Amino acid sequence: DTAVSQTPKYLVTQMGNDKSIKCEQNLGHDTMYWYKQDSKKFLKIMFSYNNKELIINETVPNRFSPKSPDKAHLNLHINSLELGDSAVYFCASSQDSRYEQYFGPGTRLTVT
Amino acid sequence: LAKTTQPISMDSYEGQEVNITCSHNNIATNDYITWYQQFPSQGPRFIIQGYKTKVTNEVASLFIPADRKSSTLSLPRVSLSDTAVYYCLVGDFTGGGNKLTFGTGTQLKVEL
């Protein structure tokens, strides 16, 4: 069984559209994260979510919003997509904030 | 935020020991140091984590000097399959991890 899964794996869309990326973890972890990896492979945390507490990286535009229907899921919604949003987005989870993180396979978002 | 600096790339040969150093001059008291490995088209994978002195597991060792302003990941007897990008992560994991900072990554290339 895949520990952390993301759908879709690839997402191609046009500027101005709204899209979502889904993430699920079956590890029973309490904390989930979203990361963005740009073309230079720089990995940057966007959000973390623990027991319904959302902590936002202040550099993330408010067009990005995470939504957690339950502890096993943390979906990423992106409104009014821009060219600069093109990147690979990784979901991750950990037992709590001090433990190692398990990453999903990534979603490659291309905005045209 | 603890800014981290790593070499952009390193080359090695099979069977050699590889040491990758990460500089984090303004590391905070609560910050842990974690290293991840990433293969192309995959999410990062946890290697090792430490706070001070030396930590060893079945795949690597992590050396942290007393001032904690740097850390060195040591990979013993590398093989071709160790070719990957290695990230140093420094951060305060409490409070959801929004202060996590990944290094720019070191591309390790192992040759025969």
Q: A4-31, pLDDT tens digit by residue?
A: 999 999 999 999 999 999 999 999 998 8
Cβ contact A20:A75 at 8 Å: yes
Q: What is the pLDDT of residue A97?
A: 63
With 70 as the cut, is the pLDDT of residue B87 above it? yes
Residue B94 near chain A (CB below 8 Å): yes
d(CA A21, CA A72): 14
With 80 as the cut, is the pLDDT of residue B63 above it? yes
Residue B42 near chain A (CB below 8 Å): yes
- Residues of chain B in contact with residue A87, where contact means CB-CB under 8 angstroms, are none
More confidently predicted of A57 and A34: A34
Condensed to tens digits (0 to 9), the pLDDT of residues B6-42 reads 999 999 999 999 999 999 998 888 888 999 999 998 9
More confidently predicted of B2 and A5: A5
Q: What is the pLDDT of residue B1?
A: 55
Cβ separation A103–B44 shorter than 8 A: yes
With 90 as the cut, is the pLDDT of residue A55 above it? no
Cβ contact B63:B69 at 8 Å: no
Q: What is the pLDDT of residue B102?
A: 76
**Whole-number average pLDDT of chain A:** 90
Residue B63 near chain A (CB below 8 Å): no
More confidently predicted of B57 and A44: B57
Cβ separation B41–A31 shorter than 8 A: no
Long-range contacts of residues B11-16, Cβ cutoff 8 Å, at least 24 apart:
B11/B108, B11/B109, B11/B110, B11/B111, B12/B78, B12/B108, B12/B109, B12/B110, B12/B111, B13/B110, B13/B111, B13/B112, B14/B78, B14/B79, B14/B80, B14/B110, B14/B111, B14/B112, B15/B77, B15/B78, B15/B79, B16/B77, B16/B78
Residue A68 near chain B (CB below 8 Å): no
- Residues of chain A in contact with residue B96, where contact means CB-CB under 8 angstroms, are 31, 48-50, 53-55, 97
Band (pLDDT 50/70/90 cuts) for residue A37 is very high
With 60 as the cut, is the pLDDT of residue B97 above it? no
**Whole-number average pLDDT of chain B:** 90
